[in-house]
Amino acid sequence: MSAEVDALTVVNQLRDLAADPLNRRAIVEDQGCLPGLILFFDHPNPQVVYSALLAVRYLAECRANREKLKSELGMMLSLQNVMQKSTSPGETKLLASEIYEILQSAGQEEAEQAEAAAASCRRKAHFFLGSNNKRAKTVVLHIDGLDDSTRRSLCEEALLKIRGVISFTFQMAVKRCVVRIRSDLKAEALGTAINSTKVMKAQQVVKTEDGGELMVPFQEDASVLVEENTDIPDYLPEDESPSQEQDKAVTRVGSVTDGLGWLSTAANFLTRSFYW
């Protein structure tokens, strides 16, 4: 197995571990994972870079992690480098910028919460913050058929093919996906991509004036042009991945024991592979 495939496998596993809120504190507290993720920001494979950024974005959803992430050696500088690098794909730059803004404001959050409690509550309702970024917006999808890890992987593949998708996270228990997209991308493109799987059907979840929720189906006969994302290569297919069984274990909801066991393996890989 090549070193690049090893790196891609490890960073994808860390991304999946970080997607589970129960694992986020342990990943940040581990002495090897954060330095390794930061080094992945400079990896020649753009998919490795994107997955590493997405893992850090998940970790930053836990407010208790943000100061630690911000103070980690090389974190902020490496994020700036990704944002400024001319070869970085547009979605990668947007994701790095969003993480940078969240961590940069980490020390001011307590004061902001006291001054604007209502705004803070709205922010907590989203998996992905940074709503002040005019270049991006958040779309919440309810996906009928999102029943297991196989369907989740199928949904991931469909979303990753869309140019303009920055990041996404799943709420498997309620069959929802929160997607961060460029402001110029129509939500219908997400519905078209997911509906094209033939085994899942997406509806958009919107807020009503009284604070409730309304599910709006996408028009089946609507002609929406979905621009495919060619900047970022596809993820390693499940049937070709050497760690297929491990992936099933760490992505299972609530799999803290399995996840932390694999976290140790990932940390050992990072220790062997990188030198400060």
What are the tokens at 56? 């850090």
> Is the CB of residue 246 less than 8 Å from the CB of residue 13?
yes
Q: Which domains are present in the chain?
A: 1-118 (1.25.10.10), 136-217 (3.30.70.100)
Residues 6+ apart with CB under 8 A from 63: 109
Query: So what's the pLDDT on residue 3?
Result: 56
pLDDT of the chain, 276 residues: tens digit per residue: 455 558 888 898 889 889 888 889 989 988 888 988 999 999 999 999 999 999 999 999 998 999 999 999 999 999 999 999 999 999 999 999 999 999 988 766 555 555 555 555 444 444 444 444 557 888 999 999 998 888 998 999 899 888 888 888 888 888 999 998 988 899 999 999 999 999 999 999 988 888 788 888 987 654 555 566 555 444 434 333 333 333 333 333 344 444 555 555 565 655 555 544
> Is the CB of residue 130 less than 8 Å from the CB of residue 136?
yes
Element (H, E) at 80: helix 75-84
Amino acid at 182: R
DSSP tag of 234: P
- Measured at the CA of 90, the angle between CA 86 and CA 93, to 5 degrees, comes to 75
Is 258 exposed, middle or buried (CB count within 10 Å of its CB: 0-12, 13-18, 19+)?
middle
Q: What is the pTM of this model?
A: 0.54
Amino acid at 53: L
Residues 6+ apart with CB under 8 A from 232: 46, 47, 50, 89, 91, 92, 160
Q: CA-CA distances (angstroms) from residue 158 to 106, 154, 168, 193, 234? A: 33, 6, 12, 6, 10
> Is the CB of residue 175 less than 8 Å from the CB of residue 166?
no
- Using only C-alpha atoms, what is the Rg of the chain? 18
3-class SS shares of the chain: helix, strand, coil, % to 5: 55, 15, 30
**pLDDT tens-place string over residues 57-80:** 999 999 899 999 999 999 999 999
